[in-house]
């Protein structure tokens, strides 16, 4: 049975600006790079065998920093991408609130029912993440696999592992470079650790909470 280490990418420029990322991209800030380095050193305590990451730049950049420290190559895949936010991508929350007030309210209160123009739904994200885990479990046995992904995607995966409704998206917090560990056992996945940021030293963590924005 495999063990998965789910990680969110380091802080990005758009994170600090409160802009929606989705499939759009923004590079890591200097703080984001420090977060990734600290996480990489922390992960040396674990027997990581493989690294898979979203093919979006911020996740690749985070994974490369970790891979260099662990002496492992990375495997980018679109399966680990953030939820696509379509027309919202690149927009700050005040702009979204101005143009899509009803849809933003729905996303805040019933995220499982929201469908952004040109974007994805939480259900689509869940389907592709479930398929990825199924494929990895078929391909590998007793491996420790690091998955570098994004805020919404990681939370959807955790909800799926817990068989919890997607409506509970906001009940899980995911800080930049947070570590989550899920161990598969005979009776199913067990969440061992969630949103662990013990590797982030003072000054290496900025919790502006992206103005409570889950659009990352």
Handedness of CA 157, 7, 208, 14 (dihedral sign): negative
Does the annotation list 12 as a binding residue? yes
Burial 44-60 (b: 16+ CB within 10 A, else e): eeeebebbbbbbbbbbb
CA pair distance 191, 202, nearest whole angstrom? 27
Does the annotation list 109 as a binding residue? no
Strands (DSSP E) along the chain, which ranges? 3-8, 50-54, 74-77, 144-149, 179-185, 188-196
Which one is catalytic: 9, 23, 150, 199? 9
Does the annotation list 13 as a binding residue? yes
2 phi and psi angles, rounded to 5 deg = -85, 155
- Sheet of strand 50-54: strand arrangement: 74-77, 50-54, 144-149, 3-8, 179-185, 188-196
Which one is catalytic: 64, 82, 120, 129? 82
Which of 154, 206, 141, 210 is closest to 182 using CA atoms?
Answer: 154
Asked if 82 is an active-site residue, the reply is yes
Does the annotation list 8 as a binding residue? yes
Does the annotation list 11 as a binding residue? yes
Angle 179-64-160 from CA coordinates, rounded to 5°: 35
Phi-psi label, residue 22: left if phi above 0, alpha if psi -120 to 50, beta otherwise: left
Asked if 98 is an active-site residue, the reply is no
Does the annotation list 15 as a binding residue? yes
Roughly what angle, to the nearest 10 degrees, separates helices 57-70 and 30-43? 40
Does the annotation list 32 as a binding residue? no
Binding-site residue numbers for substrate are 8-15, 58
Which residues make up each annotated binding site?
A: 8-15, 58
Catalytic residues: 9, 82
């Amino acid at each position: 049975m495999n063990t998965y280490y789910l990680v969110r990418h380091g802080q990005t420029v758009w994170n600090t600006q409160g802009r929606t990322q989705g499939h759009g991209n923004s590079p890591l800030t200097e703080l984001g790079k420090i977060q990734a380095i600290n996480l990489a050193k922390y992960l040396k305590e674990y027997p990581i065998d493989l690294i898979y990451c979203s093919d979006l730049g911020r996740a690749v950049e985070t994974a490369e920093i970790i891979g260099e420290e662990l002496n492992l190559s990375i495997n980018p895949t679109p399966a680990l991408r953030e939820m696509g936010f379509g027309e919202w991508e690149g927009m700050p929350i005040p702009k979204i609130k101005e143009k899509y007030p009803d849809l933003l309210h729905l996303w805040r209160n019933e995220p499982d029912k929201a469908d952004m123009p040109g974007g994805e739904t939480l259900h689509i994200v869940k389907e592709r993440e479930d398929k990825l885990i199924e494929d990895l479990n078929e391909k590998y046995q007793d491996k420790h696999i690091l998955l570098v992904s994004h805020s919404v995607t990681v939370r959807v995966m955790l909800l799926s592992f817990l068989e919890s409704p997607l409506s509970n998206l906001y009940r899980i917090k995911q800080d930049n470079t947070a570590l989550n560990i899920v161990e598969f056992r005979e009776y199913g996945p067990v969440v061992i650790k969630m949103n662990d940021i013990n590797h982030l030293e003072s000054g290496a963590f900025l919790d502006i909470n992206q103005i409570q924005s889950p659009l990352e």
